[in-house]
Structure 1
Amino acid sequence: MKKIVTVVACLLATEPNFASAQQVVFGKSWKEQRFSMLTSNDFALNGDSLGVTSDGTVSLLWTSLPETMWDKRQATWEWAVERSVPATDLSRKGGDDRNLSVYFIFLPEDAAKGAQSKGVRALLNNPDARVLMYIWGGAHARGEMLPSPYLGSRGRSIIQRGVGIGTASERVDLARDHRRAFGEEPQSLVGLAVSSDSDDTGTEVVARISRMRIE
């Protein structure tokens, strides 16, 4: 019996803390950021899931996070792609279409408190921002980390899945990836965003993200 108790204790110690996980609700708090001169995507907010259709279009959907989630350091989600853009070079501006990008936006705590009422452009343009973008798409190897041609030193893209259709579940360690990307510990996780981009190749994306949780 003593051995069984010890084994159970070890397993519990190594399992993720699901009790602290908070579900991300795709609802009214999410706002679309459109880009000048470009047609925007179609987003379908369904509580537990987000449907995305990008037909030669591009835009971003985002939400700020409450202060109770600023210290979260892991994320899980499920995603699926029914129609895919072709492989592109995500390290350069223009021609960098991708099926889906999931953004995690970090700021220092003092800057985070001052940014609570601001839009996503202000967050992404803040010189102290750090942004991790997990990507389904691109002509790159899985796990490859790329500099962002739009965010400069503030952003890094991490390839989770290559181009093509299918379904997948993800678990990401935000703290580990932040250290790898920026050489420092993450600060306050202030925002999330999802984008799809098909305007350069004139193709179509049909995709979905669901069951997103932050731990």
Structure 2
Amino acid sequence: MRILLSSAFIIASALAAQAGPVSFATGWQEQRLSLFSSNRYGFGENLTLESNGSVSIAWTRVARDSWGSRGASWSWRVDQSVPPTDLSVKGGDDRNISLYFVFVPENLAPGLEGANIRNLLGNSDVRIIQYAWGGNHAAGQVIPSPYAPPGQGVTIALRQAGTGAFNENVDLAADYARAFGGEPGALVGLAVSGDSDDTRSVIRASVGNLVLR
């Protein structure tokens, strides 16, 4: 639901993800989006996610040596799925699992390295690509965020709602150009989320083998 706009916060202070493979064992923290709503995350070799009529994100910072990343790959699995939704509809956009990639202009990245959530609220320089497993959209469709200001955040549909296990490989630079135009700046943050609060459904999912390149 409110995840995409709030994911601009994920470059708040946290331990850094390492270059190349990204560890899910350390450096991740949960960001609640509601006082009474929270997912359950497990951190280790994979990141596991359970969501029961709830929504939140788990986030980490990207180390400086990976700010120039222009591609990513990962594996993910869904054992229990939300129903299909319209990811363009505010308040009706539940999805099983999403990966967020947060970019800022390269010249601003050093100054935001230690920023906290309040410092980042309303930052118009942030650009967010969210890759989603859920909804009822065609694979590869670029969907403007119903929460972020125009031109600041998009969802790219990869898998429709349902169960299974898949490997993904994305071209961040090409998708950034499609979504926003131009070249991406520094990749400063990553996040994972599950969203089941609108449909009051249950998600059981996991993600692993995340590699930046």
TM-score norm. by structure 1 comes to 0.86
Name the structure 1 match of 2:25.
27
AA in 2 matched with 1:163: A
User: Retained in 2: the 8 A contact 1:179–1:185?
Assistant: yes
| Compared CA separation, residues 125 and 167, structure 1 to 2 (3 A) | farther
Indicate yes or no: 2:192 matched with 1:194. yes
CA contact (8 A) 1:27 1:45 kept: yes
* Runs (5+) with no aligned partner, structure 1: 1-20
Counterpart check, 1:76 vs 2:90 = no
Which residue among 47, 51, 57 is the counterpart of 1:60?
57
Root mean square deviation of aligned Cα = 1.4
Distance 2:41 2:115 in 1: 22
Give 1:38 deviation, angstroms.
Answer: 3.7
What residue identity is the alignment partner of 1:173? D
1:112 counterpart letter in structure 2:
A
- The residue number in structure 2 matching 1:161 is 159
* Inter-CA distance 121–31: structure 2 relative to 1 (3 Å threshold): farther
- Give, in whole Å, the separation in 1 of the partners of 2:121 and 2:191: 11
Match of 2:83 in 1: 86
Scaled by the length of structure 2, the TM-score of the pair is: 0.87
Contact 1:32 1:62 in 2 (8 A): yes
Q: Give the aligned partner of residue 108 of structure 1.
A: 105
Kindly report structure 1 stretches of 4+ aligned residues shifted beyond 2 Å: 118-125
1:43-92 Cα deviation digits (max 9, x unpaired): 0001x310000011100011011110000111000000000000111112
Q: Are residues 75 and 165 of structure 1, via their aligned partners in 2, closer, same or farther at CA, if it must alter by over 3 Å?
A: same
1:153-206 CA-to-partner distances (Å, cap 9, x unmatched) read: 211100000000000000000000000100110010000001100011000000
Larger Rg: 1
Cα deviations by residue, 1:71-121 (Å, 9 ceiling, x for unpaired): 011100000000000011111210110001100000012221111122467
Equivalent pairs, count: 194
Partners of 2:194 and 2:121 in 1: how far apart?
A: 17
Going from structure 1 to structure 2, the CA distance change for 1:99 and 1:181 (only over 3 Å counts) comes to same
For residues 196 and 96 of structure 1, the distance between their equivalents in structure 2, rounded to whole angstroms, comes to: 11
How has the CA–CA distance of structure 1 residues 205 and 76 changed in structure 2, closer, same or farther, with 3 Å as cutoff? same
Which of 117-126 and 161-170 deviates more? 117-126
Of the three residues 170, 173, 186, the one matched with 1:172 is 170
Percent of residue pairs bearing the same amino acid type: 47
